[in-house]
Amino acid sequence: MSDFSNAFDVSPVPRPGPDAVAPELFRGIYGMPMFVTIPTTDIPASVDFWTRGLGFFELFAIPGQLVHLRRWAFQDVLLAPAASAEQALPATTVSFACVLGQVDDIVDAVRAVDAGAMTGPRDTAWNTRDIEVLTPENVRVVFTAAKPFDPTSEETAALRAVGIGAEGGDNGERV
């Protein structure tokens, strides 16, 4: 049997117990190992629900494109606009971090299994390269890799416009 007694020493999740105290909301910027993207037809109503109802806070927003919500460290939710209620309802989206050097291998592997299941790679306004895969279960899986820092890029300008980067970008570089 494994001893997990030290696991809570490195986790943002407190040790269970009657005196457990929730960690502070975490406002730092880091490469997110996993997060959920939720399409919505009413971003302001969704932000209100997640913040007032569920205790998340708005880490940042790119108007019309994305709202990044967070609670504790590694509890990240991205709200993205959906064109219609039908687009918002059926599929779940889950995103996994990868490194830029893995993107081509993932593209090749997905194409070998089902070339029509993938879109991308595409570059995002938040300085990543993403691949989207629709699984047979109708789950949208996104592999997202941080791109190298480019102080002259449109992505860097977009991040600066919403106040991200004064302390460093998602990949740890100054924006």
Listing DSSP states for 91-152 in one string gives: --EEEEEE-GGGHHHHHHHHHHHHGGGEEEEEE-TTSEEEEEEE-TTS-EEEEEEEPPP-TT
SS3 call for 68: strand
Beta bridge partners of residue 40, listed in sequence order: 81
Pairing of strands 66-70, 76-81: antiparallel
* Residue 117 predicted with pLDDT over 60: yes
Give the mean pLDDT of 47-60.
88
pTM, rounded to two decimals:
0.60
Could you tell me the pLDDT band of residue 129, with boundaries at 50, 70 and 90? Answer: very high
**Domain 29-161 = CATH 3.40.50.300:** no
Could you tell me the pLDDT band of residue 167, with boundaries at 50, 70 and 90? Answer: very low
* Contacting residues for 35 by C-beta, under 8 A, at least 6 apart: 76, 77, 78, 94, 95
pLDDT of residue 90: 47
> CA 75, CA 87: separation in Å to the nearest integer?
24
What are the tokens at 24?
């502070």
Give the mean pLDDT of 84-105.
74
